[in-house]
Structure 1
Amino acid sequence: MTTSHRKELIIVTGASTGMGAATARELGSRGFHVLAGVRRESDAERVRAADLEPVIIDITNPGNIEALAARVAGDPESRPLRAVVNNAGIAINAPVETLPLEQWRRQFEVNLFGHIAVTQAVLPFLRQSRGRVVNISSVGGKIAMGTYGAYSGAKFALEAVSDSLRRELAPQGVQVVLVEPGGVKTEMTGHGIERAQDFVQQMTSSQRDVYGDLMQAVINQAVSFTKSGVSADKAALVIAEAVTARKPKTRYTIGRDAALLTRLARILPDRTLDRITAANLRPHFPKAAAQR
């Protein structure tokens, strides 16, 4: 692919805000016609622009996905689909013991199965155009911190699915690329922090006795992590590179933290990683807990 594009279609899911919205704008500015997936009509009006066409996509809704495929098939200008950016996601952080199974299932439905469903629906078009699947993973797809079991579990699985898909589709001329962001200043991160805070209040008193300090430390760390993260617009530049590069890498990281952590995960023993992650989390514990 080149960046001097005549009109071609690109799908970006989760384009209401954050990295998805920034990626849709960036790709639109490069000459693509972007089908920007949003969940509400109010979001649609906010993102609509000359090269951005909002489409209602809840990636857990089969009817929405069927409508998306029909939109691509019936494009009035017969434009090819050059790429799908599977970006939609949610963050639900809580200890493995305390997170209800329905919340585990919700996390996997959105962050894994929804992406698979969208990919299955659009692969016939990508095969015709020799296009590209770009899956937005996370540094959490390489390292699973405490309370990130559900989120990282889905992201680890997305990494494995992407590796398998890349090997399946290579003979067909369809490329599969992973993007692994670290700290990025997005609304999703803020919503994840809010959900974690709400979850602490929903815990039983015995659960708070065991996990309350850990949850507060993780929340404090996430706030600090996000403040020092890159902007959504900078993250969008990396995603756009993954979409448009003629010979893309199999994986791109976003932010120096992601680049460092993904490398450490490859070379360090588990116990060493345990000590590093514990040391990084320690300053974020409530003072009383840290002194115990």
Structure 2
Amino acid sequence: MPYKTQEMVVVTGTSSGIGRATAVQLAAEGFYVLAGVRRQEDAEEIKQKNIEPVILDITAIDTLRALAERVEQDPLGRPLRAVVNNAGIAVNAPLEMVPLDEFRRQIEVSVIGQVAVIQALTPALLKSGGRVVNIGSVGGKISMPGFGIYSAAKYAMEAINDSLRREMSSFGLKVIMITPGGVSTSLSEKGVSTADRLSKLMTPDQHRRHDRLFDAVKAQAESWATSGIPPKKVAEVVSRAIHASNPRTRYTAGRDSALLTRLVRILPDKLLDRMLRSQMKLQ
């Protein structure tokens, strides 16, 4: 549904998956989308009506400043309706052996980078009465074996999301968390590739302890890549959160997310442990 006065939306991580689907969805609805990508070839690929690619590395302050200036100095004076914080990575490995530099990289991209985007665009969002839409994960509600590093980042974003919402509510800034379950995206495939690379760093003792877990992590990621919901389903939920005059604080996307976010609140830890280990065939 196009708006009489076109509004802008910033979406990060639009090279593929949820970010790409969200940019396309919102552009089709009449928003002018600034689509963050890291590479020029991705910029050329996503450029179309109502989508303007922006070279953006959310860990690089100069690209964030450039994005904020682009929003503030928009030649048509379009207000910023929302920022969709989607960019992220997945580092999946047993906690015992994951290199600390990999842990730092996960947090740098998937937590600090998200906060940096919010900080850069808060002035424009406050001016327009806009909203922050953070793309979380069921991994921010429940931490599966082998996914602790990824979940640490997603749990952190849950805390940041809640704190920001409570800090800014009196200033008109709405803050929303979208919690997808398994989604068929290249992030799952990249997670498998990362797991393969990290598995080569293990000692013989660690191999004996964790080879089975690595196989389970890769099988789980491959399952999401092939049988997860399509990214468009998440994009539709994002669209609802942006269009709603009084949005909910949280939305789930996918049946597994709706189920697991409820189970984690009612099941005892030890029962949940057994269920997750059984699901990943670690029993």
Aligning the two structures, in what range does the TM-score lie when normalised by the shorter sequence? over 0.9
2:37 matched to which residue of 1?
Answer: 38
Return the alpha-carbon distance in structure 2 between the equivalents of residues 11 and 4 of structure 1.
Answer: 17
- 1:208 is the counterpart of 2:186: no
Cα distance between partner residues in 2 of 1:32 and 1:179: 19
Structure 2 counterpart of 1:82, one-letter code: R
How far off is 1:56 after superposition? Answer: 0.6
Query: In the alignment, which residue of structure 2 is the partner of 1:226?
Result: 225
Matches of 2:185 and 2:228 in 1, distance apart? 9
| Conserved 8 A contact 2:2-2:31 | no
Where does residue 166 of structure 2 map in the other structure?
A: 167
Instruction: Work out whether 1:24 is the aligned partner of 2:23.
Output: yes
Residues 55-103 of structure 1, C-alpha deviations (whole Å, 9 max, x = no match): 0111000001000001011101011111000000100001111011111
For residue 62 of structure 2, what is the amino acid of its counterpart? G
In the other structure, the counterpart of 2:91 is: 92
Alignment correspondent of 1:131: 130
Counterpart position of 2:57? 58
CA apart distance, 1:248: 1.0
Q: Counterparts in 2 of 1:1-292, with a 5 A limit?
A: 3-5=1-3, 6-282=5-281
Partner AA of 1:187 in structure 2: S
Number of residue equivalences: 282
Q: 2 CA distance for matches of 1:243 and 1:60?
A: 25
Give 1:4 shift.
Answer: 4.0
Q: CA separation in 2, counterparts of 1:203 and 1:209?
A: 10
Aligned equivalents of 2:217, 2:17: Cα separation in 1 = 22
Secondary structure of residue in 2 paired with 1:184: coil
Provide the TM-score with structure 1 as the length reference.
0.94
Computed over aligned residues only, the root mean square deviation of the Cα atoms, in angstroms, reads: 1.1
Deviation (angstroms), 1:45: 0.1
What SS does structure 2 have at the residue aligned with 1:106?
Answer: helix
Contact 2:139 2:154 in 1 (8 A): yes
What is the identity, as a one-letter code, of the residue corresponding to 1:104? Answer: F
Identical aligned pairs, as a percentage?
A: 51
Unaligned runs of 5+ in 1: none
Query: What letter matches 1:246 in structure 2?
Result: S
Give the TM-score of the pair, scaled to structure 2.
0.97
- Structure 2 spans left out of the alignment, 5+ residues: none
Q: Counterparts of 2:182 and 2:208 in 1: how far apart (Å)?
A: 29
The CA distance in 1 between the partners of 2:222 and 2:244, in whole Å, is 33
- Structure 1 residues 97-135: Cα deviation after superposition (integer angstroms, max 9, x where no partner): 101111111000111000101101110111111100000
Which residue identity lines up with residue 35 of structure 2 in the other structure? Answer: A
* Conserved? CA contact 2:13–2:86, under 8 Å: yes
Give the C-alpha shift of residue 218 in structure 1.
1.7
Greater shift in the superposed pair: 25-34 or 236-245:
236-245
* 1:201 positional shift: 2.3
